[in-house]
Structure 1
Amino acid sequence: MAFPDIQSFMQLLESRGELLRVSAPVSRDLEVTEIADRLVKQGGPAVLFENVIGSEFPLLIGALGTRERVALALGVDDLDELARKIRALIDLGGGGSRLGLLSNVTKLGDAMKLPPRRMRTAPVQEVIWRGDEVDLSRIPVQKCWPEDGGPFITLPLVITHDPETGERNMGMYRMQVMSKNTTGMHWQRHKTGTRHLEKAKRLGQRLEVAVAIGGDPALIYAATAPIPPVPGLNEFAVAGYLRGERYPVVKGVTVDVEVPANAEFVLEGYVDPQEDWVMEGPFGDHTGFYTLPDLYPLFHVTAVTMRRNPVYPSTIVGRPPMEDAYLIEASERLFLPAAQLIIPEIVDYHMPPAGVAHNLVVVSIRKEYPGQAYKVANGLFGLGQMMNAKVIVVVDEGVRVTDLDAVWREVTAKAQPGRDTLTTRGPIDVLDHSSRGWGYGGKLIIDATTKRPEEVGSAVSSREDQADDVTAEAFVPQASADLPAFEGVLDQWQTPDGYWIAALDKTHAGQARELAEAFAAHPAAAGVRHLLICDEQTDVRDLGDVWWTVLNNIDAERDVWTLPAHAGTLLAWDGARKLPEEGFVREWPPKIVMSQEIKDRVDRMWNVYPLPERWR
Structure 2
Amino acid sequence: MAFRDLREFIAKLEEIGELQRITAPVSAELEIAEITDRVCKGPAGQNKALLFENVKGSSMPVLTNALGSGRRMALALGVDNLDELAANLGSLLKPELPKGLGQMMNRAGDYWDALRSIGLGPAIVKKAPVQEIVLLGADADLNRLPILQCWPQDGGRFLTMTTIISRDPVKGIRNVGMYRCQVYDSHTLGMHWQLHKGGAEHERKAQQAGVDRIPVAISLGGDPAVMWSGSAPLPPDIDEFLLAGWLRGKPVELVRCVTQPLEAPAEAEIVIEGYVDPAEKRPEGPFGDHTGYYTPVDSYPVLHVTAITMRRQPIYPATVVGLPPMEDYWMGKATERLFLPLMRLFLSEIVDVNMPAEGVFHNLILVSIRKRFPGHARKVINGLWGLGLMMLTKCIVIVDEAVNVQNVSEAMFHALNNVDWSRDIIVQEGPVDALDHASYRFALGGKIGIDATRKWASEGYTREWPELVAMSEPIKQQVSERWREYGFAAEAAPANSAGPGSRSLLSRPAAVVRRLARRGNN
TM-score by length of 1: 0.73
Question: 1:225 is paired with a residue of what secondary structure?
Answer: coil
- Give the conservation status (yes or no) of the 8 Å contact 1:214–1:264: yes
1:240 and 2:241 matched: no
Q: Relative to structure 2, which stretch is displaced further, 182-191 or 151-160?
A: 182-191
- Give the conservation status (yes or no) of the 8 Å contact 1:6–1:215: yes
Indicate which of 427, 450, 453 corresponds to 2:457: 453
Structure 2 residue aligned with 1:102: 105
Structure 2 residue aligned with 1:217: 224
Provide Cα deviations, 1:447-485, integer angstroms capped at 9, x if missing partner. Answer: 11111013344243xx5x5659xxxxxxxxxxxxxxxxx
1:304/1:158 Cα in 2 relative to 1: closer, same or farther (>3 Å)?
same
Superposition deviation, residue 11 in structure 1:
0.7
Superposition deviation, residue 120 in structure 1:
0.6
Superposition deviation, residue 228 in structure 1:
2.4
Partners of 1:106 and 1:70 in 2: CA distance: 27
Q: Any gaps of 5 or more consecutive residues in structure 1?
A: 469-495, 499-616
- Give the conservation status (yes or no) of the 8 Å contact 1:347–1:365: yes
Instruction: For 1:445, give the aligned amino acid.
Output: G
- Give the conservation status (yes or no) of the 8 Å contact 1:91–1:101: no
Partners of 2:298 and 2:441 in 1: CA distance: 15
Residues 138-537 of structure 1: pairs in structure 2 closer than 5 A: 138-201=144-207, 202-229=209-236, 233-275=238-280, 277-460=281-464, 463=465, 465=466
Superposition deviation, residue 235 in structure 1:
1.1
Superposition deviation, residue 97 in structure 1:
5.5
1:187/1:96 Cα in 2 relative to 1: closer, same or farther (>3 Å)?
closer
Question: 2:8 is paired with a residue of what secondary structure?
Answer: helix
Superposition deviation, residue 198 in structure 1:
2.8
Aligned residues: 465
- Give the conservation status (yes or no) of the 8 Å contact 2:126–2:255: yes
1:117 and 2:120 matched: no
Superposition deviation, residue 83 in structure 1:
0.7
Structure 2 residue aligned with 1:126: 132
Partners of 1:195 and 1:158 in 2: CA distance: 14
Residues 17-96 of structure 1: pairs in structure 2 closer than 5 A: 17-42=17-42, 43=44, 44-91=47-94
Instruction: For 1:103, give the aligned amino acid.
Output: N
Partners of 2:95 and 2:371 in 1: CA distance: 23
Instruction: For 2:66, give the aligned amino acid.
Output: A
Instruction: For 1:29, give the aligned amino acid.
Output: E
Superposition deviation, residue 137 in structure 1:
1.4
- Give the conservation status (yes or no) of the 8 Å contact 1:91–1:105: no
Percent sequence identity over aligned pairs: 48
Partners of 1:412 and 1:164 in 2: CA distance: 49
Partners of 2:375 and 2:307 in 1: CA distance: 57
Structure 2 residue aligned with 1:3: 3
Q: Cα RMSD (Å) of the superposition?
A: 1.9
Question: 1:434 is paired with a residue of what secondary structure?
Answer: coil
- The structure 1 segments of at least 4 consecutive aligned residues displaced by more than 4 Å after TM superposition are 91-98, 465-468
Q: Any gaps of 5 or more consecutive residues in structure 2?
A: 470-495, 499-522
Partners of 1:271 and 1:339 in 2: CA distance: 34
1:422/1:85 Cα in 2 relative to 1: closer, same or farther (>3 Å)?
same
1:12 and 2:19 matched: no
- Give the conservation status (yes or no) of the 8 Å contact 2:22–2:50: yes
1:447/1:466 Cα in 2 relative to 1: closer, same or farther (>3 Å)?
farther
- Give the conservation status (yes or no) of the 8 Å contact 1:94–1:104: no
- Give the conservation status (yes or no) of the 8 Å contact 2:134–2:310: yes
1:126/1:83 Cα in 2 relative to 1: closer, same or farther (>3 Å)?
same
TM-score by length of 2: 0.86
Question: 2:279 is paired with a residue of what secondary structure?
Answer: coil
Partners of 2:242 and 2:320 in 1: CA distance: 27
Provide Cα deviations, 1:333-371, integer angstroms capped at 9, x if missing partner. Answer: 111111112111110010000000010100001112221
Instruction: For 1:162, give the aligned amino acid.
Output: D
Partners of 2:178 and 2:244 in 1: CA distance: 15
Superposition deviation, residue 420 in structure 1:
1.8
Partners of 1:345 and 1:204 in 2: CA distance: 45
Partners of 1:412 and 1:210 in 2: CA distance: 47
Question: 1:148 is paired with a residue of what secondary structure?
Answer: coil
Instruction: For 1:82, give the aligned amino acid.
Output: L
